[in-house]
Amino acid sequence: MLNYQRYRKNPVLSYPEREWPDKEIEKAPTWCSVDLRDGNQALIEPMNVDEKVEMFQLLLKLGFKEIEIGFPAASQIEYDFLRKLVNEHMVPSDVKVQVLTQCRQELIDKTFEAIEGIENVIVHIYNSTSTLQREVVFHKNREEIIKIAVDGTRMVKEKMKDFPGNIQLEYSPESFTGTEMDFALEICTAVQKEWNHANDFPIIFNLPATVEMNTPNVYADQIEWMNKHFEDRDQVILSIHPHNDRGTGVAATELALLAGAQRVEGTLFGNGERTGNVDVLTVAYNMFSQGINSNLNIENINEIIDIYERCCKMGVGMRHPYGGKLVFTAFSGSHQDAINKGVQALQEKGSEIWEVPYLPIDPADIGRKYEPVVRINSQSGKGGVAFVMDTVYGYKLPKEMQREFADVIQKISERQGGEVPPAAIMQAFRTEYLESKAPFEFQKLKVVESEESDDVHVELAFKYMGEQMHSVAEGNGPIDAVKLAIRQCVSAVDIKVLNYWEHALSEGSHAKAAAYIQMRDNRTGKVTFGVGVSSNITHASIKGVFSALNRLAK
């Protein structure tokens, strides 16, 4: 048994006056990407300068207006990268470059050297404030920890006087979630007073869940408590930087937004130390799925994945929200059936509002295709097979036929022991229904309609077990007449057509039609379907008759 007694619950803020549970997310926060700093430092093989440039350009394309590019005072590659952005004029005037530095004079001096020539900069200073780190890492009391933050603020303020661009200060009490709330407020207030409105830009207080230590509601309580106790609240931007140690980074972020957070720092797909930062794409897509503009250009997730995986040398998990290869995929038969019916209902209603079971958003809206929405294996059902045949190949199988063909595909899956891709499904359909020529093979048909009645006259050429047959007959329609013509040559045929469906397969001058024939063998009682395809609807229906005859003969 796990030795759970080694662990104790983390303290919970007593905050019964919380208001965030009654609120809703109504607009997107300011997004700050930390892919090039927090995300990059967590890579097995950190990005080189060229990869950093490619990632930076992707972030610009996605619409990030604040991008933390690294720790230029502590890393030569990050210093060189920043200078490359400056020298090659790669930073748009409406984008703020964020740089991280500890509260030490030599590091702040080097940081300002690195940012020279950038128009808009966020200088991000931090020091750890948690009870645990004060005791076991720094061996400092509260007053000494506050002095570090205040001294760092003063250094930035002094260096800013000779800087030609715009500086905005960001301060993070690192390990905020492990810090007593009164001390977190005390140190932020001390920084705020030292800054003393040094310029017209609001100070950013970034309250990171450096380590997730409790449930998301506790983080929301902490954020709301700070939100309500900041001095000069209108001069503060409340930012959050959630990590994902407990696997609840997205939930913690969304609840923190309810609690008053205005800004979110995170990474694409949640890369970062340990279990990662919050995945800003998931949070943004969640907003999008609720009809909220995320203010990010995230319509093509495949492009984002491609660049992310190339630069970070990390893969996006197959079940990762929105980005995973299988997240818009249903293997379950009941899920497939519901998706199939939902899409059909949407098309019939002509509604602009997306409402399809098991698909919270339209995959096409973020650059995904319909083809992989339903994937067929031994657990799939008739709805999934019908969905593939309809959305990928245009065959709208009658409801009564869907189970028959699904059984064919299920046997293939069980025999192969895995997934049956759409191409294999279509090949099975051709083999079972369209290409069978034994024992009956349709050849030619001539139809003459009577001017005096509804009867038609047919001249039919076909083969039966390889032997050439010719027959002439009359009936109350082409199918009835062909049925009689066949029986005149093959007396063993005793069939009844139960149902008939048809639809166009394509549009234009070369359009084809598909005809579905449900047929019963009167001698055995067996019922099956046949399918015919032709640009001539009469020929399509007769091919369907022959298709059904061959299936009955099996």
Distance CA 70, CA 58 (A): 16
| Cα–Cα nearest to 148, from 133, 165, 164, 167 | 133
Rounded Cα gap, residues 59 and 268, in angstroms: 9
The whole-number pLDDT of residue 509 equals 58
CA gap 406, 423 in Å, rounded: 15
For position 454, what pLDDT does the model report? 76
pLDDT at residue 511, rounded to an integer: 84
* DSSP reduced 3-state for 471: strand
What pLDDT shows up at residue 498?
97
DSSP 3-state percent helix, strand, coil across the chain (nearest 5): 45, 20, 35
Show Cβ contacts of residue 529 under 8 Å, excluding neighbours closer than 6 positions: 398, 400, 401, 404, 405, 433, 516, 517, 518, 519, 547, 548, 551
Which residues are within 8 A (CB) of 239 and not within 5 positions of it... i.e. 6 or more apart? 30, 32, 170, 204, 205, 206, 207, 261, 262, 263, 264, 265
Profile the chain (554 residues) by mean pLDDT over runs of 10 residues. Answer: 88 95 98 97 94 97 97 92 96 97 97 96 96 89 96 98 96 96 98 96 97 97 98 97 98 98 98 96 98 98 97 95 90 83 90 93 89 73 85 91 94 88 94 96 92 86 96 94 96 95 81 95 97 95 98 92
Angle at 119 between CA 115 and CA 125, to 5 degrees: 50
Contact 368, 302 (CB under 8 A): yes
Which contiguous run of DSSP H or E holds residue 245? none
Q: What is residue 431's DSSP assignment?
A: I
Longest dimension (CA), the chain: 108
Structural contact between residues 416 and 544, judged by C-beta atoms closer than 8 angstroms: no
User: Per the omega criterion (within 30 degrees of 0), is the bond before 439 cis?
Assistant: yes
- Compute the CA torsion angle 180, 186, 188, 189 (nearest 10 deg): 160
For residue 156, give both structure tokens: 């930035």
Given a contact cutoff of 8 angstroms between Cβ atoms, the answer to whether 116 and 123 are in contact is no
290, amino acid identity: Q
According to the model, what pLDDT value does residue 372 have?
60
Give all domains of the chain, ordered by start, each with its CATH number. 29-312 (3.20.20.70), 333-434 (no CATH), 440-553 (3.30.160.270)
In this prediction, residue 507 carries a pLDDT of 67
What is the predicted pLDDT for the residue at 387?
84
